[in-house]
Structure 1
Amino acid sequence: MSVPPKFAGLKLPAGTFRKTQHTLEMYLDYVCPFSAKMFNTFNTLGPIISQQYGPQLQVIFRQHIQPWHPSSTLTHEAAAAVLRLAPEKFWEFSAALFKCQTEFFDVSLVNETRNKTYERLAQIAGSVGLDERKVLELLEIPESPGEDGQLNIGNQVTNDIKLMVKADRVVGVHVSPTVFFNGVEERGISSSFTAAQWGEWLAQNVV
């Protein structure tokens, strides 16, 4: 959990107090329309935020899997693969995935195999500069049992997904989008926030 700047004294000082950043955490699900709405608006502000608030504000995209959307896990696994291979491409990949999120809704996938869905997700990663083959290698599920006969073997990012889910459960996040500011849920921020409203909120809270 992050520490608000006004609580910087809670940190063990190393001789002198150091300036602490504010932390904005957005819990988003790739197959949630409201998450897409929030991300797409906020993402347009990226250059402005970096210029005006760079030293003062840390923004974190928290991957939030919602199990009532079965494909949520698959899309977040793809993002986990991107984090493994090219973390600097994560936000760009997220933007590309949100733009075509309806392709991963229930009806869109009802007759598609899991590995086929991974192929399409790898293609999206490829569109932002990653090696599709390497992404797919991290995601594909083998079609035969493991050496010990194990059938429920997951893929190479399964352990990463477990850590993300555990982190969400610790703070009790239920639905997306949910926003935390300095470790506390910020219910005043809505998915319907316009760019202007985001600008106002940041000006009032990031000081």
Structure 2
Amino acid sequence: MNTTSFILCDNLKNTASLLPTHLNQHLRYLDMALPPKFAGQKLQFAHPPASDSAVAHTTHTLEFYLDYCCPFSAKIFRTLQNDVIPAIKANPAWASSLTFIFRQQIQPWHPSSTLMHEAALAVLRLAPEKFWEFSAVLFDEQQDYFDVNVVNEKRNDTYRRLAKVAAKVGVDADKVFELLVISDKPGEDGALNAGNKVTNDVKVITKMNRLIGVHVTPTAVFDGVVQDVSSGWTKEQWIEWLQKNVV
């Protein structure tokens, strides 16, 4: 994340601090809400402990707003995958106290961004347990969907390539493509711009993210508060952050 990103994140935090307390709390609850159909975006490191308490076990929530077409999102995702997540799993106190959520943040100035996120939404629907694994592969191959590599490609051909990425993690490519493909014929009602079978899911995640006001990727939100974390952080910096915050 560059300096501009930090400034934007700070502005978001400052805006939240000016809101009435009840509204600020409402936004935080919205920030951590996750529709059941997007459950695959959540990564829990341990099963909730058995308890007779009337108060449900609650963990800290660390949300990452990431764009599949953003190099900085790819960088932070790899650090999480290779360094941070293994460290959390190795620490029972952290594992039982923390939940990750992958928030899909479409960045419209990258035309392929929408298509890439649509593919992830298709995987969420067909095989939610494969979402994080698919995301890892898609980030590794993100340059295949940068402008110069798609500018002369038909949209459905790009979808076909994305479906093949899903196949690499064991998701049926034909079923993924079926959810993504755009027909070249009007709908039964004469519609000419109806999208595909995951368009409504795109609308949902877009509405949620707009309500929160996240702009830059990556952005990290801890228990409803934007954090000054960077895609350039090392494992040691993440460990230090976890030691201070996951208590």
Partner of 2:73, secondary structure, is helix
> Which deviations, in whole Å up to 9, do the C-alpha atoms of 1:43-64 show, x marking residues without a partner?
1132332342221001000000
Query: In the alignment, residue 115 of structure 1 is paired with which amino acid?
Result: N
> For residues 68 and 175 of structure 1, what CA distance do their matches in structure 2 show?
12
Query: In the alignment, residue 198 of structure 1 is paired with which amino acid?
Result: W
Report the Cα offset of residue 195 of structure 1: 1.6
Identity across matched positions, percent: 59
> For residues 110 and 19 of structure 1, what CA distance do their matches in structure 2 show?
49
User: Which residue of structure 2 lines up, in the alignment, with residue 7 of structure 1?
Assistant: none
> For residues 101 and 161 of structure 2, what CA distance do their matches in structure 1 show?
26
> For residues 186 and 22 of structure 1, what CA distance do their matches in structure 2 show?
14
> For residues 135 and 159 of structure 2, what CA distance do their matches in structure 1 show?
15
Report the Cα offset of residue 149 of structure 1: 1.7
Query: In the alignment, residue 226 of structure 2 is paired with which amino acid?
Result: E
The RMSD of aligned alpha carbons is 1.5
Counterpart check, 1:195 vs 2:227:
no
Unaligned runs of 5+ in 1: 4-13
Counterpart check, 1:108 vs 2:159:
no
> Which deviations, in whole Å up to 9, do the C-alpha atoms of 1:92-148 show, x marking residues without a partner?
000000001011111111000110000010000000111100000000001111122
User: Which residue of structure 2 lines up, in the alignment, with residue 26 of structure 1?
Assistant: 64
User: Which residue of structure 2 lines up, in the alignment, with residue 125 of structure 1?
Assistant: 166
Point out 4+ residue stretches in structure 1 off by more than 6 angstroms: none
User: Which residue of structure 1 lines up, in the alignment, with residue 183 of structure 2?
Assistant: 142
> For residues 19 and 31 of structure 1, what CA distance do their matches in structure 2 show?
36
TM-score by length of 2: 0.76
Partner of 1:152, secondary structure, is coil
Aligned length in residues: 196
Instruction: Decide which of 95, 113, 131 is 1:54's aligned counterpart.
Output: 95
Which one has a larger percent helix, Structure 1 or Structure 2? 2
Instruction: Decide which of 121, 126, 139 is 1:98's aligned counterpart.
Output: 139
Report the Cα offset of residue 25 of structure 1: 0.2
TM-score by length of 1: 0.90
Partner of 1:92, secondary structure, is helix
